[in-house]
Amino acid sequence: MKVAVTAAGGSLSAQVAPNFGRCEYFMIVDTDTMKFEPVKNPAASMMGGAGPVAAKLIKDKGAQVLLTGVVGPNAQGALQQYGIEVLTGVTGTVKEAVENYAKK
């Protein structure tokens, strides 16, 4: 399964970024193999509408789950529309977040 994690950098050791729409990177991680793809968030510097743009990006990358700190209401609506499961309040490194999710 592919999981998207908001990240402060482009590696598994990066910290989970607290804000979905304006995070620097999304780490798209396969929970079975831990293979990952760092994806720069083009919406990070947008003045408005960052959440829905970011939601479409992770959908297009095949993510079925999002691990993040906080998601705004517009982004939440877009993620729901795309059928992406959202887990908020996530902290630690990207690797820790994915491993903790995979244990569930």
**pLDDT, tens only, 35-90:** 999 999 999 999 889 999 999 999 999 999 999 999 999 999 999 999 999 999 99
Domain residues for the domain of 68 are: 2-102
Buried b (16+ CB within 10 A) or exposed e, 71-83: bbebbbebbeebe
Q: Report the distance separating Cα 31 and Cα 40, nearest Å.
A: 20
Residue with tokens 């408005």: 48
CATH number at residue 82: 3.30.420.130
Give the residue from 35, 34, 8, 1 showing the smallest Cα distance to 90: 8
Q: Report the distance separating Cα 12 and Cα 48, nearest Å.
A: 28
Query: Count of domains in the chain?
Result: 1
- pTM attached to this predicted model: 0.96
